[in-house]
Amino acid sequence: MTEKSDTSTGTGRNDPFWNSVASFGLDDIFVLPEWISELKGVKTTSVAVEESGSISLELTALTQRVGDCRGCRLCEERNTIVFGGGNPSAGIVFIGEGPGANEDIQGVPFVGRAGKLLDRILAAINLDRDSAFITNIVKCRPPGNRTPSKDEVAACWWILEEQIRIMQPGVIVALGAPASRAITGSSEGIGKLRGRIHRYGDIPVIPTYHPAALLRTDALRRPVWNDMKMLRQLLDELGLPRTGKE
Ligand code: URA
C-alpha cells in the first residue's frame, strides 16, 4: 500500500486544472466560459489503493485468450484488435462504440478527432488517460465506421464483461447510444438515457452523447457538460480516480 494523497481545490489561475481548461484557447474551447467559473471550486480527491500488477497481468491474459479472434465478421477487415487504453487501475472506464480508421491502425482507442475532443472533455473534469481507461463495445473496426450490429456487439460482449470484471471500476461512462444501450440493457434513445445514473450490476453508469456527435452538433455540448459535472461529483464522492500504480 502506498500513500497517495492529492487533494486539491481549483481556486485560481495558478491551479493546474484552471490552466488546463484555459490552455485550450478560446477559438477551440470545448468548455464554455461560464463552465470555468462553475468549476473553479472543483475539489478532486483520491484514495490509496493496493499496489498490484494483477490487473495488468489479467488483462494481458485476456488479450491472449482473445488471440486472433474470428468471433464475428469484423475480423475480416480489421488490422488491429483495439482492446483499450489508459489506466486500468484508475476505477473509471469510458466505453465508446468501436475503433475507427486511425484506431484500427494504431491499436489505441479514440485517437482521431473524436478522441481529441474526448481528451478535452476529460481535461475539463480534471481527468486524462492516466486517470481513466477507455475502451469500446466492439474491439474491431466496423467497415466504413458504421454502427456495429447487434450480433457483432453480442459476439464481442464477453471481452468487455471480462475487462470490467478484472478492472472492477467504480464508475462507467457510456459514450453514445450503442454503448449506453448495451451497458444499461435498455432500448431507449440516448436523449432519454442520459442525465441520470444507471447501474451495471453494482457499478454506476453515466450515459452521455458520443464526442463524434458533439463534433456535428454544438447543441449537445451543454447536456454533455451537465453529465460531466454529474460524473465529477460522483467521482469525488467515491474518491476516484484510484491513484495507485500497478
Ligand atoms: N469512436 C469510438 O467510439 N471509439 C473509438 O475508439 C474511436 C472513435
Rounded to two decimals, the pTM is 0.82
- 3-class state of residue 221 by DSSP: helix
Residue 31 in grid coordinates: 468548455
pLDDT tens digits for range 152-184: 999 999 999 999 999 999 999 999 999 999 999
Q: Map out the domains of the chain with their CATH numbers.
A: 1-41 (no CATH), 48-238 (3.40.470.10)
Q: Are strands 92-96 and 85-86 parallel, antiparallel or unpaired?
A: unpaired
Q: Which is the closest atom of ligand 1 to the Cα of 103?
A: 6
Phi, psi of 222 (to 5 degrees): -65, -50
CA of 93 from ligand 1 middle (Å) equals 14
pLDDT per residue over 182-238, tens digit each?
999 999 999 999 999 999 999 999 999 999 999 999 999 999 999 999 999 999 999
> Residue 140 has what pLDDT?
98
In the structure, which protein residues have their CB atom closer than 6 angstroms to any atom of ligand 1?
A: 96-100, 103, 109-110, 112, 114-115, 136
Q: 198-225: string of b/e by CB count within 10 Å (b at 16+)?
A: bebeebbbbbbbbbbbbeeeeebbebbb
Contact 207, 221 (CB under 8 A): no
Distance 109 CA to ligand 1 centre (A): 6
From 110, 121, 141, 216, the mutation candidate for ligand 1 (largest count of ligand atoms within 8 A of CB) is 110
Each residue's pLDDT tens digit, 13-69: 444 444 444 444 333 435 544 455 455 444 444 333 444 479 999 999 999 999 999
Question: Residue 180 C-alpha to ligand 1 middle, in angstroms?
Answer: 14
Indicate which residue's Cα is closest to atom 7 of ligand 1: 110
